[in-house]
Amino acid sequence: MKLIMIYDQIQSGLGTKDDTMVPLTGKKEPIGPAIMMEPFLKQVDGHVIACLCCGNGTYLADPEEVSRKLCAMVNKLQPDVVMCGPAFNFADYAQMCAKVACDINATTKAKAFAAMSVENADTIAAYKDKVAIVETPKKGGLGLNDALRNMCTLARALADSTDTTKLIHEFCYK
């Protein structure tokens, strides 16, 4: 299973919370949470083929254009699944994850979902009926390994086109 991860500047390691204008870029190796996810990816025969990222400010300056470009990159790379997040409790990043996951599902052959913590209540409320959003802890919270494992399990089911109803009920916001 081929995966793409979508990150903000913080999760990608390309910037801090103040470096919001990091341009849209990509890496062809696992970075950020994808590295922590490696043992769980092995369990589901998954590998990260690319990590795409941009700064929160870059996204917020033109969400439609950034999402369009991310979708074009996804079309070019042809992954099975795109994981947008984990956004933890970062509100701007969570908004980007939810919107981009929706747009990927609507405009590409790849299947996408978002992942974030409960602190992003407005984004969750706006998108939970449009795209699967995996529950994660806030940054530094307990349960990260479980959340990463759940993300990989859901990705495998999506890649296999199996019924994800039970997994979404168990792992995602309702």
Evaluate if pTM is beyond 0.75: yes
**What are 43-74's pLDDT values in tens digits?**
999 999 999 999 999 999 999 999 999 999 99
- The pLDDT of 145-157, averaged and rounded, is 97
Q: Kindly report the backbone phi and psi dihedral angles of residue 131, in degrees, each rounded to the nearest multiple of 5, phi listed first.
A: -150, 150
Which class for 138: exposed (0-12), middle (13-18), buried (19 or more C-beta within 10 A)? middle
Gap between the Cα atoms of 3 and 152, Å rounded: 10
**What are 8-18's pLDDT values in tens digits?**
999 999 999 89
CA distances (Å), origin 151, targets 24, 76, 120, 130, 163: 24, 23, 18, 17, 15
Q: How many CB atoms lie within 10 A of CB 152?
A: 24
Instruction: Give the start-to-end residue ranges of the domains of the chain.
Output: 2-171
**What are 95-150's pLDDT values in tens digits?**
999 999 999 999 999 999 999 999 999 999 999 999 999 999 999 889 999 999 99
**Position 152 confidence tier, pLDDT thresholds 50, 70, 90:** very high
Fold of the 2-171 domain: Rossmann fold (3.40.50)
**Position 164 confidence tier, pLDDT thresholds 50, 70, 90:** very high
